[in-house]
């Protein structure tokens, strides 16, 4: 099985294409960004310390940045977990928290992805508190 960092660094490019069906708030035919984990990671790294962003806002901004109308919510959810798990892998290898992707600026206690993290939601809550962000 691939490590989270191997999944993060998958070389396949992102796609911009019409949404094939109505799903998760998207309408068939809307121009949809299908992001890569690396694209999601790079975007999260641009969020300033002490600032948070919810997943719908992240998806909207990613879409605009890539000339799309929407960002695939399913793919984004998968990649948010990959980004968080890969960052935590790096931290476990000795990379300081200040140098890993600050996934806690997007994930919070209510984000479904948070409940799936191998290292638990408490890490997210602690990191958010350390930056003065709401739980």
List Cα–Cα distances, 124 to 66, 87, 115, in angstroms: 28, 12, 10
- Those residues whose C-beta lies under 8 Å from the C-beta of residue 9, and which sit 6 or more positions away, are 37, 38
Domains of the chain, residue spans? 4-130
The tens-digit pLDDT sequence of the chain (135 residues) is 899 999 999 999 999 999 999 888 889 999 999 999 999 999 999 999 999 999 999 999 999 999 999 999 999 999 999 999 999 999 999 999 999 999 999 999 999 999 999 999 999 999 999 999 998
CA 78 to chain centre: 8
Give the residue from 118, 78, 87, 119 showing the smallest Cα distance to 105: 87
pLDDT attached to residue 1 = 87
């Amino acid at each position: 099985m691939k490590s989270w960092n191997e999944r993060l660094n998958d070389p396949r490019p992102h796609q911009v294409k019409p949404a094939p069906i109505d799903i998760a708030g998207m309408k068939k035919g809307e121009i949809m960004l299908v992001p890569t984990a690396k694209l999601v990671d790079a975007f999260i790294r641009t969020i300033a310390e002490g600032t948070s962003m919810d997943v719908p806002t992240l998806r909207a901004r990613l879409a605009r940045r890539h000339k799309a109308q929407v960002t695939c919510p399913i793919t984004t959810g998968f990649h948010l977990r990959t980004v968080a798990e890969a960052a935590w892998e790096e931290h476990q290898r000795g990379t300081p928290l200040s140098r890993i992707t600050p996934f806690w600026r997007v994930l919070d206690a209510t984000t479904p992805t948070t409940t799936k993290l191998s290292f638990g939601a408490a890490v997210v809550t602690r990191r958010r508190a350390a930056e003065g962000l709401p739980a």
